[in-house]
Amino acid sequence: MSRPTAASSGPLLARPLRFLVVFSLLTGPLLYAWAGASTHYLAAIAALANAILGATGCPVTLNAPTGASGEVVHPGTVGALALFAATPGRPWRWMARWALVTLAVLVCLHVLLLVAATWQAWAHAAPAAGADLYLLPLVSRLVNGSRDWAPLLAVVVIWFSALRASTPPMDSTA
Amino acid sequence: MIPSPVNLLTHRARNRLGFCALFAAYVAALALAFEHWQSGLGPLYLYPVSWLAGQILDGIGIITLLDAGQMGAGYCVLSMERAVFHVTYECTGVTALIVYLAAVLAHPTSASHRCLGVVLGGAALFAYSALRLVVLGVVAQLWSDHTQFFHVYLLVLMNVGFMLALWGAWARRPVLAWRGRS
């Protein structure tokens, strides 16, 4: 059985107030910038999802919207960037490396959720067309339950993991 | 003797994996508990947050009426002159609260420090959730064109930033590392 014992590392998040201020200052402008870029992101995600749907035998093609809809797609993506950029006491290489890891995980999650949701919609619309009805309730439950939670949890878990992977020693943050 | 995979990991990696696994387990448990007891939380969380937001909005000159008649359906209604809010659990930052509580419970520290984190952090998130509704009410009243941006995007991300800053402030105390029995 494991038990907790004292360790001599410094605080995981130095200067939390500074973190909150920088995060707040970064988030607004990044969101405005992302509002324009997110349409292209959605197109890229849809293309990847289409490739997987085609390979798995789902005869549905997703078309990403081309015009400006006023919606910001996957705003958590810029939240993740702001999170790593605002974390104090870490070198820029740490920020860049973990931001890239997070972006890669988010892209995979967004594609998988889109594929699962498309499969779910297709199976509901055409139950006799070959969709696996045994898996449908499970897929539906997973998609509906994780659409809001999964990206947020992925970002938070990666951030926690990144903090713990390189906690500075106590005397360097005093 | 063949070393187990756990023993091959460094203390730091074990610490990290242990925390992340516990964190995910606590999030799942708290989310399930929330789904199960959601209706009972109305008078304890949804209504007080909405009431406090309404009182503050009234105090700063934005006349607000609170209708809790739909609390059984999972929302309260805050009616202002130029906007009507259907305040749901998501609006009160319950996701951030669950993630914060899971992070506090998973952090390797003493039980008393954990209790402090739950009580003080819970109170801080409660106050923050009410203030968030106040900010949204002010935006809806003064700059209604921006309500959607604040509601759906900016303040949702701010929930995450505030929650993590709060956790970081609480976790500044030296951590305890998870070590196997020697």
Q: How far is residue B173 from each of residues A140, A148, A153, measured CA to CA in Å?
A: 42, 32, 24
- Complex-level ipTM: 0.81
Q: Does B171 sit within 8 Å of A11, measured CB to CB?
A: yes
pLDDT at B49: 93
pLDDT at A40: 86
Q: What are the DSSP E strand ranges found in chain B?
A: 65-67, 75-79, 84-88, 176-179
- Does residue B180 belong to any structural domain of this protein? no
Measured on CA atoms in the order A7, A13, A14, A15, is the torsion positive or negative? Answer: negative
Look up tokens 């009805």; give the residue: A133
CA nearest neighbour of B179 among A20, A7, A85: A7
Q: Please tell me the distance from the alpha carbon of residue A147 to that of residue B59, in angstroms, as a whole number.
A: 38
Q: Please tell me the distance from the alpha carbon of residue A14 to that of residue A86, in angstroms, as a whole number.
A: 11
Which residue type is seen at B110? Answer: S
Looking at the DSSP bridge assignments, the partners of residue B177 are A5
8 A C-beta contact, residue B45 and residue B55: no
- Does residue B128 belong to any structural domain of this protein? yes
pLDDT at A18: 92
How many CB atoms are located within 10 Å of the residue A21 CB?
14
φ/ψ of residue B54, rounded to 5: -60, -40
8 A C-beta contact, residue A159 and residue B103: no
- Does residue B177 belong to any structural domain of this protein? no
Instruction: State the DSSP string of B43-61.
Output: IIIIHHHHHHHHHHHHHTT
Higher-pLDDT residue of A150 and B31 is B31
pLDDT at B180: 47
Instruction: State the DSSP string of B73-101.
Output: GTEEEEE-SS-EEEEETGGGTHHHHHHHH
**Per-residue pLDDT averaged across B24-47, rounded?**
88
Identify the DSSP state of A131.
Answer: -
Q: Is A159 an 8 Å CB contact of chain B?
A: yes
pLDDT band at B182 (very low <50, low <70, confident <90, very high): very low
Nearest CA in chain A to B104: A160
Across chain B, what does the average pLDDT equal?
Answer: 85
Annotated domain spans of chain A = 16-165
Nearest CA in chain B to A174: B172
Give the closest of B153, B178, B180 to A75, CB-based.
B153
Structural domain boundaries enclosing B140: 10-170
Residue B40 has pLDDT above 90, yes or no: no
In this prediction, the residues of chain A whose per-residue pLDDT falls under 70 are: 1-11, 66-70, 126-148, 166-174
What angle (nearest 5°) sits at the alpha carbon of residue B97, between those of residues B169 and B156? 95
- Does residue B163 belong to any structural domain of this protein? yes
pLDDT band at B175 (very low <50, low <70, confident <90, very high): low
8 A C-beta contact, residue B172 and residue B117: no
8 A C-beta contact, residue A24 and residue B159: no
Lowest mean pLDDT among A66-70, A74-78, B73-77, B171-175: A66-70
Q: Is A174 an 8 Å CB contact of chain B?
A: no
**Per-residue pLDDT averaged across B38-49, rounded?**
87
Q: Please tell me the distance from the alpha carbon of residue B20 to that of residue B12, in angstroms, as a whole number.
A: 12
Which residue type is seen at A100? Answer: L
Identify the DSSP state of A169.
Answer: B
Q: Is A1 an 8 Å CB contact of chain B?
A: yes
Nearest CA-CA distance, residue B158 and chain A, Å: 7
8 A C-beta contact, residue A111 and residue A49: yes
Give the closest of B27, B166, B179 to A3, CB-based.
B179
- Which percentage of chain B shows pLDDT scores above 70? 86
> In A, residues 87-146, which contact B (CB 8 Å cutoff)?
none
Q: Does A164 sit within 8 Å of B16, measured CB to CB?
A: yes
pLDDT at B167: 93
Sheet hosting strand B75-79, strand order edge to edge:
B65-67, B75-79, B84-88
| pLDDT tens sequence across B96-151 | 999 999 999 998 888 999 999 999 999 999 999 999 999 999 999 988 888 888 88
Total domains in the fold of chain B: 1
- Which percentage of chain B shows pLDDT scores above 90? 47
Give the closest of B149, B174, B181 to A6, CB-based.
B174
Q: Please tell me the distance from the alpha carbon of residue A12 to that of residue A18, in angstroms, as a whole number.
A: 14
Give the closest of B12, B27, B152 to A164, CB-based.
B12
| SS3 label, residue B146 | helix
pLDDT at A172: 40
